[in-house]
A = this chain, B = another copy of it.
Amino acid sequence: MGAPKQKWTQEEEAALKAGVIKHGAGKWRTILKDPEFSGVLYLRSNVDLKDKWRNMSVMANGWGSREKARLAVKRVPHIPKQEENSMALGNVVQSDEEMMDTKPLSVSSETAQVATPKRSIVRLDNLIFEAITNLKEPGGSNKTNIATYIEEQYWAPPDFKRLLSAKLKYLTANGKLIKVKRRYRIAPTPAFSDRRRISSMLPPEGRQRDLQSVNGS
């Protein structure tokens, strides 16, 4: 019932790449209005450009790099609201330094005030494993229940849902978690299931997102 699904032509893809090179990724409307490309892309919207660029850049980057998470916390109308078990984890997280501490590791020298989220991300792995273990749900726990558990036990950040989704995806891709029907279990063997990434279809050269030039307002 929707759209007839217009496949992107080679010419359109080339124009999109050229547009990104010229104006930068994220400047979709600018690219679209550029007379140099509007003749080819006149059938597409700025959102189409964005989506296409995303499709061309899938998986090439990977989740292993820096934090890429931010946003989400989709509105959850109802919380499973589980038991009051205040014994399993207690309410005080006292020992955290001992497990896997992190180095300063400053990535970008700019805006050093924002601090490195490294610590939080590293610990999120443990929180996920802990949630799955203590929830003891047969077949594993879904994302919602994991999130609820962590939110009730810790000081969850505002973008917790998104961090969690990304981390679950990452851990699943790396074989540390097993996902079956939206439920996550801890992998029995933390072994060698290393999925190799086929990068046959390389995206346009800039597969990083650092093109995001700030517009000084």
Contacts and interface: CB of A to CB of B under 8 A. Distances in A.
Contacts of A117: 79, 158-159
Contacts of A122: 155-156
B158 A156 contact: no
A83 interface: no
Contacts of A75: 77-78, 104-105
B151 A113 contact: no
Interface string A7-45: 101000000000000000000000000000000000000
Nearest to A96: B152
B120 A153 contact: no
A172 interface: no
A137 interface: no
A127 interface: yes
Interface stretch (A64-72, A173-181, A184-192, A199-207): A64-72
Contacts of A78: 75-76, 105
Contact of A4 (B9, B70, B81): B70
A9 B158 CA distance: 7
Contacts of A153: 92-94
A54 interface: no
Nearest to A105: B77
Interface in A54-112: 67, 70-73, 75-79, 81, 92-94, 96-97, 104-106, 111
Given A70-B5, A77-B71, A77-B106, A155 B154 contact: yes
A6 interface: yes
B77 A7 contact: no
Nearest to A112: B161
B159 A114 contact: yes
Interface of A: 1-2, 4-7, 9, 67, 70-73, 75-79, 81, 92-94, 96-97, 104-106, 111, 113-115, 117-120, 122-123, 127, 147-148, 151-163, 165, 214
